[in-house]
């Protein structure tokens, strides 16, 4: 550290404390090491390579865009954005894929494998699986008509995974509004971030077993909407559990604010969707986003960047996996 040339020793002491405090602050926020141009020299083709594979996957199946976006959520919410969700079970740990919120639900792993294969051909051993997931999520939203944003990169890959953390760290579809606010806040995400990120349910589908209690037991639901959903989701558990329904019935394959309009009309498919508009503190945000795509897109992009900053491994932490499904 440079010498202090001021005559006052007390000022020097304060200056040293302040500088140390700033340095410690940066050391504690590894997200500060992420940057949008991290691969500009080491892998300049990473963005075009990822987007090409994502575009092809979505062309084959629109739903894949939502699946890739969800992969990023479920990765970041469990011990940070470290690619741990991609790991298969090993003899030393049970991965996150079979955790309650992920089992028979989270998908898109083959697309990530294909992207990784293509990226490895372009620049071997450089780009992490965690970063590939982050870029693929952004590209999926963009391709389906939503906003784009500059993805911060430089994450490294975890060498292990935790089924326990996945079981406890992901908000269930039965969540109350308070539960959602608290869970997102614990990860540094505000109430506004939470509502904006919930808007990702403008694309994708959910299984009958997840929304059955809402369409049969709840009263803050449009009757005709509930009836339509009941037609393909029998009341008896174990019957039709895996039958799918779109989270947004209006435009299920377009990233737009229609999700929020559905909530106002009591057509949220999941309990955790409808609680955002049910006489609580987030009603006004739902109204704002339903009326303004620009505001929703802007807030969603900001929230995605914040979410991507959750506890990344950087520097010498973790590794750059050669195969996204297993540690090196």
Binding-site residues: 75, 78, 80, 82, 84, 96, 171, 201-202, 248, 251, 256
Whole-number Å distance between alpha carbons of 321 and 21: 34
Residues belonging to the binding site for Ca(2+) are 75, 78, 80, 82, 84, 96, 202, 248, 251, 256
3-state secondary structure of 150: coil
What residues are labeled active site? 74
Tokens of 22: 């700033």
Whole-number Å distance between alpha carbons of 100 and 165: 11
> Which helix or strand (DSSP H or E) is residue 226 part of?
helix 223-230
Backbone CA torsion sign across 49, 52, 56, 58? positive
Whole-number Å distance between alpha carbons of 227 and 223: 6
Residue 79 CA to its chain's centroid (Å): 13
Residues belonging to the binding site for substrate are 171
Whole-number Å distance between alpha carbons of 218 and 212: 10
C-beta of residue 117 within 8 angstroms of C-beta of residue 91: no
Whole-number Å distance between alpha carbons of 274 and 259: 10
C-beta of residue 157 within 8 angstroms of C-beta of residue 318: yes
- Residue 6: Cβ within 10 Å count: 10
C-beta of residue 120 within 8 angstroms of C-beta of residue 65: no
CB contact set of 101 (below 8 Å; sequence gap of 6+) = 74, 166, 167, 170, 172
Whole-number Å distance between alpha carbons of 53 and 56: 5
Residues belonging to the binding site for heme b are 201
CB contact set of 43 (below 8 Å; sequence gap of 6+) = 119, 122, 123, 126, 127
């Amino acid at each position: 550290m440079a010498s202090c040339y001021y005559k006052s020793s007390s000022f020097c002491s304060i200056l040293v404390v302040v500088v140390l405090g700033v340095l410690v602050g940066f050391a504690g926020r590894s997200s500060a090491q992420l940057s949008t141009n991290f691969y500009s020299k080491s892998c300049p083709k990473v963005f075009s390579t990822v987007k090409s594979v994502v575009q092809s996957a979505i062309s084959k199946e629109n739903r894949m865009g939502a699946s890739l976006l969800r992969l990023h959520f479920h990765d970041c919410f469990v011990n940070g954005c470290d690619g741990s969700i991609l790991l298969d079970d090993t003899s030393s740990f049970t991965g996150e894929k079979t955790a309650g919120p992920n089992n028979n639900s989270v998908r898109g792993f083959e697309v990530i494998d294909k992207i990784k294969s293509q990226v490895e051909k372009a620049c071997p051993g450089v780009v992490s699986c965690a970063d590939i997931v982050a870029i693929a999520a952004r590209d999926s939203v963009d391709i389906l008509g939503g906003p784009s944003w500059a993805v911060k990169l430089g994450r490294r890959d975890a060498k292990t995974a935790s089924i326990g953390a996945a079981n406890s760290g992901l908000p269930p579809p039965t969540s109350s509004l308070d539960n959602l606010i608290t869970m997102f806040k614990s990860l540094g995400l505000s109430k506004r971030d939470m509502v904006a990120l919930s808007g990702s349910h403008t694309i994708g589908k959910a299984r009958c077993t997840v929304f059955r209690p809402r369409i049969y037991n709840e009263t803050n639901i449009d009757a005709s909407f509930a009836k339509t959903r009941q037609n393909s989701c029998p009341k008896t558990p174990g019957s039709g559990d895996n039958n799918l329904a779109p989270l947004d019935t209006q435009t299920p394959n377009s990233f737009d604010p229609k999700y929020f309009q559905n909530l106002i009309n009591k057509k949220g498919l999941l309990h955790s969707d409808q609680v955002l508009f049910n006489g609580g503190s987030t009603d006004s945000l739902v109204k704002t986003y339903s009326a303004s795509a620009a505001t929703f897109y802007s807030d969603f992009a900001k929230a995605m960047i914040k979410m991507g900053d959750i506890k990344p491994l950087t520097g010498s932490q973790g590794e750059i996996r050669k195969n996204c499904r297993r540690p090196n």
